[in-house]
Structures are given as C-alpha cells and as structure tokens.
Amino acid sequence: MAQLTISYVPSGTSTQETVVVMLALNRDAAPLHVDNFVKLAQRGDYDNTPFHRVIDDFMIQGGDFTNGDGTGGHAAEFYGYCDGTETAVECSNPNSYTLPDEADNGLLHQPCTISMAKTSQPNTGGSQFFLIPEDSTPDWLDGQHTVFGQVTSGCSFITSISEVETGGQQGSTPVNAVTLESVVIS
C-alpha cells in the first residue's frame, strides 16, 4: 500500500486542501515498476514535488523530482536500461536510469489506476507517473504505458484535482500548485 498526501486548491475555491489517496500496488503484474516506485518513495524523492501536468477528463501527472516540470526524474536504480536502451553495463549517469516496459501485464488504464509516464519510445519510464480520475478511461495507453496499481481510497480527490484551473504553454500546468507532500509505503 502507498499513502499519498496531496495539497491543492479545488476549482472554484481559494482555500488549499490536503487530502489522502491510498494505492494498492500490484507487484505481481509490474514487479519492477512497483519496486522502483517504492524505492523512490522510501528515499523521499517524491516528497514535496508538483503534479506539473493536469488534464481534465484524462489524468494528473507528477513524479519529476529533479526538475519539477516534467523534464526530469529517473528510475531509483539500474534496471538494465539507460535512456530506454537495454545494456549490460550500468549507465555512467544515474539520471539516465530507465525501466523496461511491463505494459502487457493484463492491467488496463481504467478509472482510479496509477501508470508510469514515459516518452513515446519504449522502456523510458523513470519516476514520473500519472493517476487516472473517475471520469477517464484512456484505453489508447493500454499496452504502451505500465499500469502498476489501483486507487483504493480517495479517487474522488484525483477527479477534483484533474478539474483545477490550468494554464502555461501547454495549457496543463496548474495555476495554483498541486503538491505531492509525501508518499508513505506500508
């Protein structure tokens, strides 16, 4: 289990709320992704990081613990891939650590799931992840991105966060910060 504590300003209000979302991580279906998420959480890498990308009726994305804007982050350790390329030799730069895809694991992009963000290239997941709200079923991501858990409590908060006011160049940056304050693994 993972407990995510998130702070945000709900749409139509000016008051910051702090909420808790509980996740059941599926180690059987996505062992490397769960191992990676747990290690990053236990090291505190996710603490006080932004959900930098929020798209209503789709998802909320966070986990960039190096740059906070979607351009950074990396896997917790060497999993056999450097920037998406399989290699027997460990990357010279830990910022290049990526994960092999586990996307064909039978888990689908259903409402209230967690999945690994990556580039359009295979095996490029690192630390960024996204949570899918109650009103989204992005099935075009099935077989491409790795689903590695299910929200067991607090999915309504994910839906509420997906509806916050956004702007920026891509139109998906929250106007008021949405912050992952902590991730506690139990």
Q: Judging by beta carbons within 10 Å of its beta carbon (0-12, 13-18, 19+), is residue 27 exposed, middle or buried?
A: middle
Per-residue pLDDT of the chain (186 residues; tens, 9 = 90+): 999 999 999 999 999 999 999 999 999 999 999 999 999 999 999 999 999 999 999 999 999 999 999 999 999 999 999 999 999 999 999 999 999 999 999 999 999 999 999 999 999 999 999 999 999 999 999 999 999 999 999 999 999 999 999 999 999 999 999 999 999 999
Tokens of 103: 């996307």
pTM over 0.75: yes
Tokens of 184: 């506690």
**Beta bridge mates, 185:** 2
Structural domains present in the chain: 2-185 (2.40.100.10)
Nearest to 132 by CA among 51, 73, 68, 72: 51
